[in-house]
Amino acid sequence: MNDTTPEMMRLHRELLMQQTGEERLRMASSMFATCKTMALASFGNVSEKEKRVRLFLRFYGSDFDPQTRARIVAAIRRG
């Protein structure tokens, strides 16, 4: 769903591009940290390895075919 007008999208992009590369990188890093914190909070009381597995699956799981994903999860669990 996209409820943003083309004019607002253009203005948003213009404002972002006025920032330096460093400012945009800092903003992206902060947003990722916030997403990671929210994801970790949703996992409940699980082991550190299981948190790593769930973070991988949440953020990157769809980037891999099932066999590769299973190998990566196994490697994380072996730690």
Q: Where are the domains of the chain?
A: 1-42, 45-79
- CA atoms within 13 Å, Cβ hemisphere of 36: 12
Helix (H, G, I), strand (E, B) or coil at 22: helix
For the question of whether the overall pTM of this predicted structure is more than 0.85, the answer is no
The mean pLDDT of the chain is: 96
% of the chain exceeding 90 in pLDDT: 96
Give tens-digit pLDDT for 53-79: 999 999 999 999 999 999 999 999 998
Region 13-28: what's the mean pLDDT? 97
Helix (H) or strand (E) holding 13: helix 6-18
Contact 54, 43 (CB under 8 A): yes
Which residue, among 52, 76, 54, has the nearest Cα to 68 in the 3D structure?
76
Token representation of residue 59: 């953020």
Residue 5's pLDDT band (boundaries 50, 70, 90)?
very high
Q: Give the C-alpha separation, 67 to 16, whole Å.
A: 39
